[in-house]
Structure 1
């Protein structure tokens, strides 16, 4: 529809984008058919044939922007690894493949003891009936980092029976009270809209999680890469799940970024908490730690 507006003689459309997967419609239907392409290395490519479009394509890396200081480029570059680094820093259209949280290292990201937590931002939960019901506490530490401090999980298969919404709500309240924690928000898995009613009846204000999956993963991955999101050793089930959280190769081949839906109940919950409370913690965390080259 944008192209149909270019009816006036000399009209041009200028567009800019961050790269996505190589099968994304914008790349396959337009960018790959550009008559001229100036690549990352400054080489000019010309496309011949009937399939080409009257389109010029320019590829840049983040560092190519002359208005950005070297320090800013270094700071932003340090926030990303793997897939996000290749796309947002190097400007590559690449597949989402391998593990989701590539920077995850238990030696770096798991802490034996929590620091003082002045604010417990959220109780975030991934609802399950036949699948596990997994709940995590997300807090803002006195050191300016986010911490996943506690977890509670009910696996109906192992427990040989699921709970009702009323029973889940009762046990969650008992668990939080036992920890002496009153989180600012209770963030509910968006697929469990009916469960949200139960905590409300019990006097707990809840909100549905922001479920922008890729944006939530990117924010969580960035926090891990800069050591601003840590996990307490008191969350063994989450710690066990993170290394196996991987991109779905079949979805990637179709141009979609989706994690494999296997053993992801623990890892969904911190994503809900991080993404939904970002307006609170974004200005309160420590500065990113720039990695030495």
Structure 2
């Protein structure tokens, strides 16, 4: 499956970033968390290898020079570069460019999606750039920060809440950054949400909720939810985003249907084990 993460030659021109850059960035983000937090040395080593592969695909960061030059005020090159910068992998040309582009007044124009703004602020922190907004103030206006009525949560809002948590906690590395009132809200409603989405067989979202649970103080653990989630895995350890994996799918179709939820499974299992739940089922589907 690793080959499916390789970037095509036209990645900076005609290729769809949602099918190229996004998967590679997600691989890098979650592999780095697993490398840092997983208690098993062999798993950490495998994750480190995947992270190194992802950096190599960016040609040592040269890719980000091209992306920033092509779209100076786009946030995604900065967000992706921040994943590697956090691990100490930097490129002088990128540093010079983003230092200039993020100082523009245009960069500080408010974005409609507060959750996305949290990710941009996280990237600025990782790279060492001045934050363009106050993190706490932005968090307060997200779906999580407003603590909406739990019954009103639709699929899009649910993903927004999980990512609010991931950005606030630096993908589970710093759970203490999550304000206590928000942690309390999540602790109260996560079990019902997880059960509801499991009934719908939305495994990708179930995995994200299990990861969020592992980010909370004293990390509540739901063995029944984990067993149900683990049962969704295929024989090779892949986890479909929804329902069952597609039958008679091409390699590309199978990758698209399973890659993100499989990464999430490994990520959630790592956070749960790091929080002290050794009985958590391992994801056997390292890409």
TM bin, normalised by shorter chain, reads under 0.3
Higher strand share: 1
Using the size of structure 1 for normalisation, the TM-score is 0.25
Higher helix share: 2
Greater C-alpha radius of gyration: 1
Higher relative contact order (CA 8 A, sep 6+): 1
